[in-house]
Structure 1
């Protein structure tokens, strides 16, 4: 195995990258494209571990490493040809680190199984055939929400002004970021866009073939918007936002319905919703994949890390967790 700076990759390396991706549908997410990695690398250096039928883009910091794009990449892992095996310990040695952690590792790597500490559901929507095809696959709850979205669209049209959607908008990204930051603040979640590098990344992606910005307005009012990335038939639902004052119109569902309706025109057959079991994801999903949390390490064993993660999870689920996060933010 050899570790190569992303900027030093050759045309042959990129051709091999594309060939390996094409060999297995597990790598069809836009997060596994070299175009996404190029956008990330422009703001934060990436090194790529390359072997026979194997490559893994990584961020290396001191004695540790993480998959490239972390913490924003919702699918992670080495891109490998079918049947290729590798040694996790050899990976650490080749990268020159003591640990390599992951939090959205695609499930199914036999060689990484001993290092997986936890698994999470990552829902998706099969939108083949657009809205009609989707409604034939989604369960009763999802069909009900889509029907409600149609009714509320008509209501917004009467009460707020003509409803119009743009599934491939050219501007509005700054407003999406601002609304997302408001959402983070109101829920106590960590502000992903507090880091200038993350704001710059979505702007670079917006200017690439991967970025997809969608909006829905009622008269002069922005109801909801979404910025995601897409490649081929896959759209990753990444940063959805809506104006809270128009929450009674279920603007997020209104926008999602518009995107599903436009899916055939866009060439999209699947919308990945990302890890988590939010209510809208449970209702909208037609299926799910699995992503893993863990770390390859030469030190602390996986059982001990599992215990530590369980303790952290218990603290986060505590009724006073929001107050603790608020106090922590004030002390920073």
Structure 2
């Protein structure tokens, strides 16, 4: 095994990575492609890739970030929606996680969106979550018929709002892959305002995340391409989304809308048009990510499991990992498991946000 910076991998290694990923049973999520790891490597100095060899040929890759005292985490943890190792089928059964961490000089390896197929790490999971998906494999019309059966009121109301938005704000126009940098800046401004309005941490206040999105917006690869989708009313953007797509999966990442048009639910309209455009492009799945939300419940056709947890090696590093992450994780889990507490927490966050604004 050797450890390298993401930008130090040779083209042969990157092609092998893609081939191993194609052979996996997991959906071809673009967060698991070498292009995402390379983009993180350009904005996060601790990014590394462990390359596992069988003879002269790579048989596996583990992208990760190394922090102080060897504390490790999945590449892009906090913003990446699919995590784990890229391994030859069956290789995970023979690898020892302790030896792998030792070779990477890691005391721990934390993850919060581990794929279900990650047999090497899934046994160390502390929590299981659902990531919500939209299946458009059989075309958008089939998806719409599913919505009409499971959520008839939602679909009827959303389509009616779409028509009203067009009448009152200007003719609607949807662009699936918008290349205008101004539209991306507008989306990031909306999203920052949404984070502050709801009392949550503004991700775009972190320079590395802003730079990462900029890097990925310029990335064009068959299995990892930055995709900015925008819904316009006249010439004015009213909702937008930035995510990553492969040939078969659109990973939904940063959606937002102009609050001035909130009564028209432009975000929901945007997602319907994204599903329609994705199906036309041959993409079969929209991955809405983990985390409960009313719009996800309305749009989803199914769920997939993802996991949160950590692998640790005995020693001081493992103790530091536990102290830095485990109490907060358990507190969050306690609140999420109790709807009344979760509702109170959400109201408290919004109240704190209002106080900060005034």
TM-score of the aligned structures, taking structure 1 as reference length: 0.91
Please tell me whether residue 77 in structure 1 is matched to residue 78 in structure 2: no
Contact 1:6 1:48 in 2 (8 A): yes
Please tell me whether residue 66 in structure 1 is matched to residue 73 in structure 2: yes
Question: Can you give the 5+ residue segments of structure 2 that lack an aligned partner in the other structure?
Answer: 54-58
Please tell me whether residue 146 in structure 1 is matched to residue 155 in structure 2: yes
RMSD (CA atoms) = 2.5
Per mean C-alpha deviation after superposition, the further-off stretch among 51-60 and 119-128 is: 51-60
Q: 2:113 aligns with which of 100, 104, 107?
A: 104
Question: Can you give the 5+ residue segments of structure 1 that lack an aligned partner in the other structure?
Answer: none
How many Å separate the matches in 1 of 2:109 and 2:44?
17
The aligned runs of 1:55-204 (5 Å cut-off) are 55-62=61-68, 63-84=70-91, 85=93, 86-138=95-147, 140-171=149-180, 172-204=183-215
SS, match of residue 184 in structure 1:
helix
Residue 48 of structure 2 is matched in structure 1 by: 47
SS, match of residue 26 in structure 1:
coil
Contact 1:214 1:226 in 2 (8 A): yes
Number of positions where the alignment pairs a residue of Structure 1 with one of Structure 2? 329
* Residue 51 (structure 1) shift: 1.2
Q: 2:219 aligns with which of 208, 222, 226?
A: 208
The aligned runs of 1:251-266 (5 Å cut-off) are 251-266=266-281
How many Å separate the matches in 2 of 1:31 and 1:274?
12
SS, match of residue 111 in structure 1:
coil
How many Å separate the matches in 1 of 2:291 and 2:188?
21
* Residue 8 (structure 1) shift: 1.8
Contact 1:130 1:260 in 2 (8 A): no
How many Å separate the matches in 1 of 2:211 and 2:241?
17
Contact 1:4 1:47 in 2 (8 A): yes
Per mean C-alpha deviation after superposition, the further-off stretch among 235-244 and 38-47 is: 38-47
Contact 1:130 1:262 in 2 (8 A): no
CA deviation digits over 1:35-58, x for unaligned, max 9?
A: 111211111132111114221111
How many Å separate the matches in 1 of 2:302 and 2:247?
19
Contact 1:21 1:27 in 2 (8 A): no
Q: 1:290 aligns with which of 295, 301, 305?
A: 305
CA deviation digits over 1:104-155, x for unaligned, max 9?
A: 1112333324311001000110112432021244473445433322211111
Per mean C-alpha deviation after superposition, the further-off stretch among 313-322 and 176-185 is: 313-322
